[in-house]
Structure 1
Amino acid sequence: MKAFMGSGVGRTVILELDRGDDIVESVEKTLEKEGIKNAYIASAVGSIQHLEYHRPLTMDEATEDEFLSLDGPFETGGVTGTVIDGVAHLHFSGGGVQGIHVGHLEKGTRVLYLMELVVIELEGFALKRVLTPENVKKLFPVSEEPS
């Protein structure tokens, strides 16, 4: 286990995404424009017309993922995650006429009618994600490499 301590929270951004907007790209671009490198998703509600996500397939030491691409309609049960060093790591739950879906949200996921996200800036962190031998992008201090 690792724990990273920051200095607090900063600005709050409410994003209202429209039909066709890419959820992951919209979060990253807005935060980049505002100069926010680290944040978390406090709340997200809305609908999705096209879903791109992945989920693990095995319990092996190194992850093997299944990537899915589905057309909706889907209603989100929630989107949660972090943005570290400007890169979003978002997970979602949602469902529709095709059933329930849960996993890691990928770029290319597009809003159906509306998506509202509340994003909270995290201050005092100098972190990066690094791909580890388990094929997982884990957090490390900017000054440290994984062993």
Structure 2
Amino acid sequence: MNVREHTKEANIKRVIVGRIPRGEDLLTGIREICEEYGIKNGYITGLLGSLDTGRFIYAIPNEEGKIGFVYSDSVDVEGPLELLAGQGLIGTEDNGNLSIHLHMLVSDKYMRVFGGHFVDGGNRVAATAEIVIHEIENAEYKREFDNQTGFKLFKIK
């Protein structure tokens, strides 16, 4: 593997801090922040708060998967959920639309921890979701189909 073809030097252009208020969908709120500030490429360094509901997918073994696993169907977890940690990438789909790749850990009222790749819909903020976004420059994240894995992944441009 040539790591050089999968990496690029980039700079932090600016840091955006904020919160997504109660009742809003988490991913919709992140997209609105990105649109408000014109962020097309960046990464989420911190995300804390609480959710009424959470929706995510996770890797499961599957011999039919190109690399031995596939992703589960969406799993919905009822809250209240404590949002323990979140991080992610911000880029664009191959059609130009904004794309958020968000992984989080949440805990429920029994202190069970759930984690995975959080997906659209079903992630309603309970009290707040506080977020820190670093916008990057001199590099782009473009989500494209990857022949090696069979998944749509961010490619560095």
TM-score by length of 2: 0.81
Structure 1 portions without partners, runs of 5+: 143-147
What is aligned with 1:132? 146
Shift of 1:33: 2.4
Deviation at 1:30, TM superposition (A): 1.6
Residue 90 of structure 2 contacts residue 141 of structure 2 at CA under 8 Å; is this kept in 1? no
Q: Which amino acid aligns with 2:91?
A: I
- Distance in 2, matches of 1:115 and 1:96, equals 16
SS at match of 1:57: strand
Tell me how large the CA RMSD over aligned residues is. Answer: 1.9
2:105 matches 1:105 = no
- Residue 80 of structure 2: aligned partner: 73
| Percent of matched pairs sharing the same residue | 23
d(CA) in 1 for partners of 2:90 and 2:47?
A: 14
After superposition, give the CA deviation of every residue in 1:25-47 in whole Å (9 maximum; x if it has no partner). 11122212211111111111100
Secondary structure at 1:37's aligned position in 2? coil
Return closer, same or farther for 1:79/1:125 CA change in 2, 3 Å cut-off: same
**Is the 8 Å Cα contact of residues 74 and 95 (structure 1) preserved in structure 2?**
yes
Aligned length: 142
Q: Which residue of 1 aligns with 2:95?
A: none
CA distance in 2, matches of 1:63, 1:129: 20
Q: Which amino acid letter does the alignment assign opposite residue 108 of structure 2?
A: G
